[in-house]
Structure 1
Amino acid sequence: MTIRVVLVDDQSMIRTGLRMVLAAEPDIEVVGEAGDGASGVRVVAELEPDVVLLDVRMPGMDGLEAARRIVGSGARTRVVVLTTFDEDEYVAAALRAGVSGFLLKVAPPEDLVAAVRTVAAGQGLLDPAVTLRVIRSFAAAPAPDPGRAAELAQLTERETDVLALVAAGLSNAEIAARLYLGEATVKTHVSRVLLKLGLRDRVQAVAFAYESGLVTPGR
């Protein structure tokens, strides 16, 4: 199956570079481009790609608002936000908007390709360099949401432990080693957590963990 991708970035050179990297892959096709958020929303609605790579800072409608509109439209398109090192203030907002992943613009080509495939397969993606920034952003957030906190009661103790470690940025293999479990068992726990809480992927699980108060600045 070919993964259909739309690129949204106000810098044409960035779009050209992204297109060149992705066009070299037999299972990925760039089907459209846009130079601002409003155009990006229209192109995504028209083409219904599997993945949209979306810059944050753009003239007119920025990437955050575009992400909210794309996710809020109910489209099957998954959003990956492209960030730079100086955009910490956008990370938590994009996470709350429902994006499926973050990727640094300086990431090597192989990471870009892997990100597109990972998100297209229905999994969330947090660039390791972004994970700590996500944690810092939520650490500075307001008090936990009582409604989110109440939802934690649906989880077993082990599922709660797994969710906390997912929010800390650990992979399934790392969680398995930390909890002395098999990796397949951890994968099952993660799937059950997502199902019980109505979350789409690990990225949303990170947001939930912080919004519910399960993970706090001191923990």
Structure 2
Amino acid sequence: MSHILLVTSSPRGSEGLSTRYASQLAKRLAAQRPGTTLTVRDLTAAPLNHIGEAYVVGRVTPPNARTAAQGEAVQLAESLVAELAAADTVVIGSAMINFGPPSPLKAWFDHVVWPGVTFRYANDSVEGLLKGKKVYLVTAAGGNFSEEPLAAWDYQSRYLKHLLRFLGMTDIEHIRVEGVAYGPEALQAAVASADEALNSLLKHAA
């Protein structure tokens, strides 16, 4: 049985293009695979707190020695890691904010990037422990960040792909919805391009 995890983070909620396309992709993938379960982690509707002392100290403190706050912070991270580990397919929607991903998505990664749990240091190298997953990354941006001169400023895509690979998720498909801030015609072209990319991915994923 396939299990898909959908993570969305656009501050525009369901109106955000990254959320719209990521959601559409996850639902259509699920429809192509009878028996598939789909878990939705909407970081806009239910944002995570940014990590703090309770989490940072709590995760290296023995369970029976944790304070209540530490126990709660670690338990949340454990549930997020379990949710991610259970998925064989991960779909992430990210809207560019000041050249990077939205802060709620950064907070999610800060909870699931966990030494000894989702990655480990071994023989002077790092090994990601969340291997064997297919990842679909959907990014939205006002400018055309897949091309120069803006490509050098695309800290969103590079950062997210780096973290995914760091955790062992190296099989990544990327759909861009970009150039949407250049007027109605550019928006229409961006949507058409994203539609084409989405349909192509679904065709090959079938």
Q: TM-score, normalised by structure 1?
A: 0.39
Higher helix content, 1 or 2: 1
Q: Which has the higher contact order (CA 8 A, sep 6+)?
A: 2
